[in-house]
Amino acid sequence: MSTPPSASGASARPSSFEPALILATERLVLRPFTVADAEAVFEAVDDEVRRWMVWAPGYTREQARSYCALQAHPYPDRGLVRAISAGGRLAGSIGLDGADWAAGRVEIGYWLAPWARGRGYAAEATVALTEYAFGRGMSRVQLVAAVGNTASQRTAERAGFVREGVLRSYQPIPSGRTDMVMYSRLAESAESVEPAR
């Protein structure tokens, strides 16, 4: 179901995310990446990130610089990527991708630096960016996690996402194709979520 047009004929629902968006939570700031983040991004891509992210094996400093520079010129109609900052230190990345404005759905994804794991940062950032997406008119925010990535599955659940099922051979990871667990949060059933830490 689409949003009815306004008196001017334009849709009342936004059709993009805010490129300069900065979100603050109790402990985190979700902000645009800058080229100055490149070294911290490079250092964050450890064996755990390389295990799950198809882009991560062989990741170089030049790729980190390119990634950070690319995020300075976002594509707000399709998605949004933010640096997760904790105490002024780069803790990871979180983003919305594949926005379908007509259907009102988008996918969220994240990764964290080794030092930032196990502190509830991913769940806290996921709650904040999900609620932002709902505020921009999204009805559904979905998240997929590899069946073997139990840490990411726990993050989804702490952030109030509901497990829907398993998508067989859904996504490539460095070791080959893998099944993914699909999670979602719906705006219609969304209550404010305080992520468990």
The predicted pLDDT at position 51 comes to 83
The predicted pLDDT at position 192 comes to 61
The predicted pLDDT at position 77 comes to 78
Over its length of 197 residues, how does the chain's per-residue pLDDT go in tens digits? 344 444 444 445 678 899 889 999 999 999 999 999 999 999 998 888 888 888 877 889 999 999 898 887 767 778 899 999 999 999 999 999 999 999 999 999 999 999 999 999 999 999 999 999 999 999 999 999 999 999 999 999 999 999 999 999 998 888 889 999 999 999 998 666 666 55
The per-residue DSSP string of the chain comes to -PPPB-TTSSBSS--S--TT--EE-SSEEEE---GGGHHHHHHH--HHHHHH-TT-TT--HHHHHHHHHHHTS--TTT-EEEEEEETTEEEEEEEEEEEETTTTEEEEEEEE-GGGTTTTHHHHHHHHHHHHHHHTT-SEEEEEEETT-HHHHHHHHHTT-EEEEEEEEEEEETTEEEEEEEEEEEGGG--------
What tokens does 111 get? 């990764």
CATH numeric code, 23-188 = 3.40.630.30
pTM for the whole structure: 0.87
The predicted pLDDT at position 194 comes to 67
For residue 28, the tally of other CB atoms under 10 A from its CB is: 25
Q: Would you kindly state where each structural domain of the chain is located, as residue ranges?
A: 23-188
Contact 184, 106 (CB under 8 A): no
